[in-house]
Amino acid sequence: MQPSQQPTLYDRLGGVYSIATVVDDLIDRVMADAKLNANPLVEEAHHRVPPAGFKYLVTEMVCWAAGGPQKYSGKPMAESHQHGRDKGAGGCGLVGQTDRENNPTSKASDKSVRPTRALTHSDPA
């Protein structure tokens, strides 16, 4: 990084290990959320692949979206999330809850350095 360059969001978040820690917590919440799993297609999708694989892909995506060197290797979001289109963004509350619990000292307005910010603002495919 050049001295005059600002660090990327990926760098400010602490890199892949910090991001993976937050994603691990978030995906545990998503997999267990009764509201999301009320949609039978979401429930089925949550059990089609092991949680570890899902966590890996989400970690890749967040790292990519935050400016890290990782490349998202999963399916495009439009294809992956066809089952939830009619249900709205039910997981966004879980993103906020995970964010608050993993960043207890960050301010609600300081969205630029929050690990889960990339989840709701980028689509790699």
pLDDT at 108: 45
Q: Which helix (H) or strand (E) holds 34?
A: helix 34-37
Is 80 exceeded by the pLDDT of residue 39?
yes
pTM of the model: 0.67
9 closest CA partner among 120, 123, 116, 124: 116
Taking CA atoms, 33 is separated from 88, 95, 104, 110, 121, in Å, by: 15, 12, 22, 26, 22
The one-letter amino acid code at 21 reads T
3-state class (DSSP) for residue 76: coil
Q: Convert the pLDDT of each residue in 63-92 to its tens digit.
A: 999 999 999 999 888 887 665 554 444 555
Question: Which domains does the chain possess?
Answer: 9-121 (1.10.490.10)
For residues 58 and 29, is the Cβ–Cβ distance under 8 A? Answer: no
16: pLDDT strictly greater than 80? yes
CA dist 120 and 12 (Å) reads: 18
In the chain, how many H helices and how many E strands? 8, 0
Is the pLDDT at 112 greater than 50? The verdict is no
